[in-house]
Amino acid sequence: KMWLHDFWGDDLATANSHKSYRPLTVLTFRFDAWRGGLIDALLVDNLHRTNLLLHCLCSACLGYVALALDLFPRSSGFQAASGALAAGLLFAVHPVHTEAVAGLVGRADLLSGIFFCFAVLAHAKERP
């Protein structure tokens, strides 16, 4: 079923569907439902907890990207690591990310941020 429906649960073949196909996001929602059961309070707690964990992972990935891309070239090792940590922490606490973490639909944004960081790291590894 997950592979034949859009993000909102409509059949992809119907005219009502807006064709927003996000299977990884839907898979994480189903994992939360499986983990928390169908008790509403536990499910909502799991959904928000997963969004918070994904935001922490995205922030850590961004700090690692800053370190891997050598964004602080004239700094010593400790200063570069401190700068990367500051970049990750600033990303983590910036209020613009409130909607992505607090809103359940923001999970797609968090997952895309994580995979973007992975793509940048893969590219950085291959460059000379």
Task: Provide the Cα torsion 69, 71, 77, 83; round to 10°.
Answer: -120
Question: pTM of the entire structure?
Answer: 0.82
What residues contact residue 84 under an 8 Å CB cut-off, 6+ apart? 63, 64, 66, 67, 71, 72
What residues contact residue 124 under an 8 Å CB cut-off, 6+ apart? 65, 68, 69
Burial of 3 (0-12, 13-18, 19+ CB in 10 A): exposed
What is residue 52's predicted lDDT score, i.e. its pLDDT? 93
Q: Identify the three-state secondary structure at position 5.
A: strand
Q: How far apart are CA 113 and CA 121, in angstroms?
A: 12
What is residue 65's predicted lDDT score, i.e. its pLDDT? 93
What is residue 14's predicted lDDT score, i.e. its pLDDT? 84
Residue with tokens 């409130």: 98
Q: Which of 90, 89, 94, 87 is closest to 69 using CA atoms?
A: 87
Per-residue pLDDT of the chain (128 residues; tens, 9 = 90+): 667 777 777 787 888 877 777 888 888 888 887 777 666 656 778 888 899 999 999 999 999 998 888 877 777 778 888 888 999 999 999 998 888 888 888 899 999 999 999 999 999 888 76
What is residue 56's predicted lDDT score, i.e. its pLDDT? 96
Tell me 52's DSSP state.
H
